[in-house]
Amino acid sequence: MALLLFAVTLALYWPATGYDFVSLDDSAYVRDNPDVMEGLTWPGVKAAFGKMQEGLWIPMLNVAYMLDVEALGPEPRGFHLVNIALHALNGVLFFILLRRWTGSLGFACWGALIWALHPLRVESVAWISGRKDVLSGFFFLLCLWAYARSFAEGRRSRGWAWASAGLLALGLMSKSTLMATPLLLLLLDIWPLKRMRPEGADFRAKLPRLVAEKWMFWLLGLISGALAVGGHAARESLNTGDAWTRLARVPIHLVHYLWKTVWPSGLNVLYGDLDVAGGTVAGAGLVLAAITGAAWFARRRWPAFAVGWLWYVVLLLPVSGLVGFGAQSRADRYTYLPAMGLVLLLAQAMPAGARGRRARIAAGVASILAVGVLTARHLPVWTNSGTLFARVLEADPFHFQGMMNRGIWLWEQGETGPAEETFRQAWSRSTPGRVAAMGDDACRLALNGRARLAQAVLEPIVNAPEASALVHGSYGMACLHEGEWDEAIRHLNRALALDPQSSRFRIQLIRAYFESGEEENARAQAALLTEWPGGNIQSSVDLFPYYLLLWRDRSRPYAWTCFRRLAEREAENAALLNAIAWRVATDRRSPAESIPLALAFAGRAVELAAEEPAAAMDTLAAAQAAGGDFEKAVATGERAMALAMRQGDSALAERIEGRLRLYRQGKPHRE
């Protein structure tokens, strides 16, 4: 039965293996993430555990993506295939738990299939960035299985309990919303484990002990929650709106997901905020009160109903709007694990016995077929960014983010005219907040080297009275990236007129003046700087420390243009050419187009160096290895090491020797 369930789930979602990346987090998490796209490497693993990803500490997610690349390659098909397989495995694990907890093979099969094939699962499965749900769900279900196993012999097994905590830790390193798991384990103590009764003296006597024994689970949840709050606060994506709005969202969202479970129509990846008027909140509150009341009165006769309902509520609370993480207050993917509780609450509601058995089977099969058909119809929405954001605009023709993302997708497909019209429509529906959003989008695109697209995003707004310093500054940066110095200078000056304290735009203006040959204007602007990482700015070379900051701040395509133009202006500066070549050659995140020029810069640095250019030859060898010419890299490295030894620089010779070992293995040196 488990194999059949796995096969059915795999077959239903199989078309998604042919889908593309989408421009909604897939770039940040996978496509433009060099740590992932190089496969499983030690530097990549260290980076996964050593930094936040989009405000989250989720190292297991990044490691999982690396394993995908290592085993299946960097194309989207492999990522989709693993998502589907993990989801199918989760369906099997849920089936095993239901079978053990209810004792009913039929209900377990029906419940697992309804959950696995439901249209609300599509977002988590067909979206590559939805891996957070399927991966954390895999560890979560194993955690529950190990926890139940720890009491299988009538007494607590510490080994299984620690295994359960370890699995929860892996789940939390995939998605932090599992922080509510300890509360869920207390519910399982009531049913199906029956370690305490849900009322009376038994409840009062046992509850403190059961809470205390889960100290490791509480600690893990607390740490994960603190990391999530800190990460989002650092990115300014922690929604700290007024308390009433956040509280009002909770009942509205809980009822919204209930309704979408029963009637899954109008599904969308980007929902707008729901009305939080008093009447809406009161109505939702009455629905929740009625179900909660029914669960309370049924707690003795049908404990699965109460446990299933609280499972749903407890796991949804972290994403119910009570605490706002990021921009989305509701999403279909938030129901991935909570929906299991809605299945569980029906566990004791199904009549047993032979009477009506055929009708129950027919109803069960019909419901499974219904959700399967709906999922098959909804799945193609995730084919690519075009189909995804077309669906967003179908539901809301003037959805700002939908228009922006669809415009970017059209541009990437070469349909520049429709893209520009889409950006104009986005601006025509704009508000002051959206002016800032367009500026942010354009700045991000410019720093990623997509300057023409950044200009297209801002064309409708850049000459409007509402244009902000960010809009003019971002447009100026895009012009500067394209070598359009007059326009860059004009818009950067306008940005500074609106925001005279902006060091970022002033540095860009200094750069524009230097590159256009107006050195006196550049030095005059440099005198006005309030923040600067280097010393006095007298020439374009003095901007090099800022370019390094840009490079290290994940803005390598933009920084590479800065490096390249500086190297062209300072073609006789051996130290500068060597420094640029080394930075590019030893960074695994370097833009591909930068490697050939880095090799040329390194070669020129060797020519310009003193009689014994050991350090410059070391850089040349690193650049040759970065370009894949390991035979030349070995020969150059050996010459560099010999020169270093002749100069008496044993430390440099030792470092070169270590790099030579890599070149002989066909590996470049990375820092």
Query: How confident is residue 187, by pLDDT bands cut at 50, 70 and 90?
Result: very high
Residue 420 within a domain: no
Per-residue model confidence (pLDDT) at position 279 = 87
pLDDT at 451 over 80: yes
Distances (CA, A) of 160 to 95, 142, 145, 183, 246: 20, 11, 9, 18, 38
With a CB cutoff of 8 Å and minimum separation 6, the contacts of 536 are: 526, 542
| 3-state DSSP percent of the chain in helix, strand and coil, to 5 | 70, 0, 25
Residues 186 and 46 in one domain: yes
Last residue of a domain, one of 523, 550, 565: 565
DSSP letter for each residue of 538-606: -SGGGGHHHHHHHHHTT-HHHHHHHHHHHHHHTTT-HHHHHHHHHHHHT-TTS-TTHHHHHHHHHHHHH
With a CB cutoff of 8 Å and minimum separation 6, the contacts of 498 are: 468, 469, 472
Per-residue model confidence (pLDDT) at position 322 = 74
pLDDT at 437 over 60: yes
How do residues 4-43 score in pLDDT, each as one tens digit? 999 999 999 999 999 999 988 998 899 988 889 989 988 8
Per-residue model confidence (pLDDT) at position 330 = 86
Residues 66 and 150 in one domain: yes
Count of C-beta atoms within a 10 Å radius of residue 81: 18
Dihedrals φ, ψ of 239, to 5°? Answer: -80, 110
What is the extent of the structural domain holding 538? 430-565
| Residues 586-605: b if buried by 16+ CB within 10 A, e if exposed | bbebbbeebbebbbebbbbb
Lowest mean pLDDT among 144-148, 347-351, 442-446: 347-351
How do residues 59-88 score in pLDDT, each as one tens digit? 999 999 999 999 999 999 999 999 999 999
Dihedrals φ, ψ of 631, to 5°? Answer: -65, -45
Residue 405 within a domain: no
325 forms beta bridges with 238
Residue 393 within a domain: no
Last residue of a domain, one of 565, 583, 602: 565
Residues 97 and 232 in one domain: yes
Residue 407 within a domain: no
Residues 149 and 279 in one domain: yes
Check: CB of residue 644 under 8 Å from CB of residue 652: yes
Residue 414 within a domain: no
Residues 449 and 555 in one domain: yes
Its pTM stands at 0.89
Quick one: tokens of 253? 């969202």
Last residue of a domain, one of 499, 534, 565: 565
Q: Of 137-151, 518-532, 548-562, which one has max mean pLDDT? A: 137-151
Residue 159 within a domain: yes
Count of C-beta atoms within a 10 Å radius of residue 263: 8
Can you give the CATH number for the domain in which 466 is found? 1.25.40.10
pLDDT at 243 over 60: yes
DSSP letter for each residue of 521-534: HHHHHHTT-S--SS
With a CB cutoff of 8 Å and minimum separation 6, the contacts of 182 are: 214, 217, 218, 221
Check: CB of residue 271 under 8 Å from CB of residue 120: no
Average pLDDT, the chain: 91
The total number of structural domains that make up the chain? 3
Residues 151 and 214 in one domain: yes
DSSP letter for each residue of 107-145: HHHHHHHHHHH-GGGHHHHHSGGGHHHHHHHHHHHHHHH
Residue 406 within a domain: no
Check: CB of residue 398 under 8 Å from CB of residue 425: yes
Per-residue model confidence (pLDDT) at position 554 = 78
Quick one: tokens of 420? 């520009």
239 forms beta bridges with 324
Q: How large is the average pLDDT for residues 87-100? A: 97
SS3 label, residue 193: coil
Residues 149 and 267 in one domain: yes
What number of H helices and E strands is found in the chain? Answer: 34, 2
Residue 410 within a domain: no
pLDDT at 327 over 70: no
Query: How confident is residue 321, by pLDDT bands cut at 50, 70 and 90?
Result: confident
Quick one: tokens of 445? 């695109």
Residues 594 and 473 in one domain: no
How do residues 255-295 score in pLDDT, each as one tens digit? 999 999 999 999 999 887 777 888 889 999 999 999 999 99
